[in-house]
Structures are given as C-alpha cells and as structure tokens.
Amino acid sequence: MSPMDDPPRAANQLTTHGAWEGATRTLPREAADFRLAGRRALRAAFLGFFVDMFDIYLPVVVLGPALVYFQPDSLSPALKSTLFSLVFAVSLIGRPAGAALFGHWSDKIGRRKVTILSMAGFAVVTLAIGLLPGYEQWGLASILALSCLRFVDGVFLGGEYTAANPLAMEYAPKEQRGLWSAVIHTGFPLALAVMSLLTIGLLRGISSGSPHSAYVVWGWRIPFFVGSVFAFGVLLYYLRCVPESRVWSAAEKVKSPLVELFRGANQRIFAQVFLVMTGLWFMLNASISILPGVLLTVRPVDSLSVAYAQLAASLVLALTQIPFGILGQKIGRRAFFALFGLAGLTAGPLAYYLLVRSGYRNTDALIGLVSLVVFCAMSAWAHVTAYLSERFSTGVRASGYGVGYSAAIILPAFSSVYMLGLKWLGIPYEYTPIAILALGGLLTMTGALLGPETRHVDIA
C-alpha cells in the first residue's frame, strides 16, 4: 500500500476514534502507513516552513547590505531604515490575503492541494525578484517592482503554512503536538542561519559597501535563486510523498469556512488568537526585521558584524526550540505564552537598550545582546502551530490558522511608521523599537491569559 493512499477503513475509524488513536487500533499495516504518512507530513511541514521563512526574510538578511541598489543615495538614514522595513512589511501585508484565500480552499478542497499551489507560486516569484534591475536602470520603478513582487510573494507564502501546518498537526499524537510544533518552527531560525551564512560568505568573498560593488550589483541575487530552488524541491516532495490529511478527509465539510470563522464561538476564539498573534508579531518585527536596519543605517554597524550577530541569534533560537516544545507540552500552552510574553515585556527591552546604547561597539557584546533580544522575543513561536490548530475545529482549522496567524501581521507590519511617530515625539529613533518589543510582550501575555489551556484538546 502506498503512503499516498487513504485506506477507506482507516478513514472511517478515524472519524470514531480520532486521528492517532484510531490509526493505532487498525490492522498493523494500516497503523504503520498512518505513522509513515504522519512522519512525511511533519518533515514536509518543517521543510515548507524553512523555505517560507527563508523567502520571507531574504530582504532583512540579504538585501540589507544591498538596498542601495534599489534606492537613491540621497535619503537620510532614518528614511533608509524606514524603506528597508517597508520592503519587508509589504510581503507581510500580502500574507493575510493569501491566508484568507488559501485557508478557505484548504478547508474546502484539501490541505495538500493548496500547499502545492502556494509552493509553486512563491518559487516563481522569488526567482523573478532575483532577476530585478536596480535604481540606475529603472529609477524608482525598481523599488516599486520589488515591493509589488514581495506583496505577491507574501500572498503565496500565506498559503503555505495555512495548509501545510494544520495537515501535519492532524497527524500528530496528542502528547507530542508541542514537540511536532517546535520541530516545524525550528525551520524559521535555521532559515535565518542559512541566509546569514550565505550572506557572510558573499560579503567575505566579493566586494561590498559601495553602490557599484559586486555584492550590491549581483551578489544579493544568489540567495534569492537558492530560495527558489529550495521551494521547487519541497514542491516535488509534496507531489511525490505527502498524502492528504485523513482527519480532514473524514470530517464534515463546512459550506463557507471564512463565514463560519466569524460566527458565534469561532468569532470569540479568533479574537483571542488575534490578540496573542499580534503580540508575537510585534516582538518578531522589533527583533528580526527592525533591529538589523537600525544597526546598519542609524548607528551604523558594518554589515559583516550584523550578519554574524544574526547567525548566532538564529543558532541559539534553533537549539532551544525543541526543548521549549517539550516544556510547553508539560506546563501548557497558556503558561508558556504568558511566560515569554513577560520576557518580551521586561528582559527583551532591557537587552535592546544595552545593545543600542553601547553593545554595538564591541563584536562579542553585539552578538550576545542580539542573541538575547531574539531569544526573549522569538522563543514563544515554538508552540504557535500546535496552539492555533488546537483552537479551531477541523471544518475551519486552516481558515482559522491562516487568518489568525496572518491578519495579526497587519498592525505590526507598520512598526517602522510608528517608530517615526515616536521619533517625532522626541524619542531617539534607535530606541523606538524598545516600545514595539514591550508592546508585543504585553499583548502576548494578556492574550494567552484570556484564553484556555489547549494541550489536551482532541484535534479530530
């Protein structure tokens, strides 16, 4: 029996007993097929999330030293930093549109089909970005084209995790959902680490720093081409190896998942999830997308030192995701999110202040403090996939997961604009991200405490 098959008997038993429990009560061969399908779904979700994060954060890590290629050199440092952040923000804004569109169809026609479509879309768009001309060739049209393609990229990227992550969670044993969630989210820091290594290699191997240097003209394109190849590779893996979710196949389909998402109990669940995710996105933006731009354009710190600091922070985060996945399964999602919301409200802003005040003058201090900021701001993400999958029923799970995850991006996506407003109020620009980080911690902690514990929920 191929793992691509869905045995009718197993599907019927899943309806009665739940995903994992039902499969383990079937004949040994069917149970083995179910476990194999689960492992492949988990592996594919990890790889898909790795590629998703690789592509979404390419501007932050790779384009930082080369953004001058797309903009006039006459801009002030604050405006350069703002433009740097907005290029990243437009792709985040595209994600809610993609999540709503693909989440609806994931609940209607299946998780696997939607994952394949979205992977193909952002593989092509990422390749197109790597081929763009710069300001000298197209003028302001170059930054406009970059922004438009990043928006479209965000739409397709919004479909990947919306379908692939619930698919994997619907195969996960109840007592291991925290671990599986952490495994999937380890793809994020590993993607940042790989991008940082690529950027460090390019910056050390070819000239950089001037508008006509090799890195600025063509070196930055290489990671975009690599990201496109990664996406096509994961697409082939889904086509050949990953079956549809049996929980989704056995469930009753909802006529209009998006409409149902905003009715009754689902609406209240969504509001609470939205609060938690908005806080998490504020913390992420402050630590991942804004901090490098501030260090590069306002202080400024050399590109290579920032890349080393991002690499170290990514490795620290990657090494802690699995232990935190196990911890959150023991203490519960609610306590876990509240704990790291508190860290984002207190320890993270303190580390940010020390970094901006003097840490950037010493490479070791820079690396240590950047790692601490990222640790405080990002560790809570280990349980996002499990938590969101547990909060919504099967008929609206992909829609709830995708829209809850992505709609919360919108307000934090304009953090760079809020920073300009804080600067206008008299706060030094380089210190304004501290307020963004603290706000994220407060929202995450509050949202978690307003919601229930979910680790014992029967996901089927």
Residue 241 belongs to domain with CATH number? 1.20.1250.20
pLDDT at 413: 82
Q: What is the DSSP letter of 64?
A: G
Query: How high is the pLDDT of residue 65?
Result: 73
Q: Is 455 within a domain? A: no
Assess if residue 183 is contained within a domain: yes
Q: Strand, coil or helix: what is 73?
A: coil
Contact at 8 Å (CB) between 53 and 187?
Answer: yes
275 vs 256: CA distance, rounded Å? 24
- Mean pLDDT, all residues of the chain: 86
Q: For 300, phi and psi rounded to 5 degrees?
A: -95, 160
Is 64 inside any structural domain? yes
- The string of DSSP letters for 76-110 reads -HHHHHHHHHHHHHHHHHHHHHHHHHHHHHHHHH-
Amino acid at 61: V
Residues 6 or more apart from 456 whose CB is under 8 A from it? 174
Does 457 reside within a domain?
no
User: What is the length of the chain?
Assistant: 460
- Is residue 458 in a domain? no
Task: Find the domain containing 407 and state its range.
Answer: 8-450
Residue 349 CA to residue 439 CA, distance in Å, equals 10
Q: What is the pLDDT of residues 178-189, one digit of tens each?
A: 999 999 999 999
Is 459 inside a domain boundary?
Answer: no
CA 160, 162, 167, 172 dihedral sign is positive
The one-character DSSP state at 263 is: S
**The dihedral formed by the CA atoms of 154, 160, 166 and 172, expressed in degrees to the nearest 10:** -130
How many domains, the chain? 1
- Of 100, 416, 20, 44, give the one whose Cα is nearest residue 270: 100
Residues 445, 103: Cα–Cα separation, whole Å:
27
Report pLDDT digits (tens) over 16-70.
Answer: 344 444 444 445 777 788 888 999 999 999 999 999 888 877 776 777 777 778 7
Q: Which residues of the chain have pLDDT under 70?
A: 1-27, 60, 74-75, 77-78, 80-81, 84-85, 88, 209-210
pLDDT at 375: 95
Residue 1 lies in a domain: no
What predicted TM-score, i.e. pTM, was given to this entire model? 0.83
Give the list of residues 6+ apart from residue 426 with CB closer than 8 angstroms, or none: none
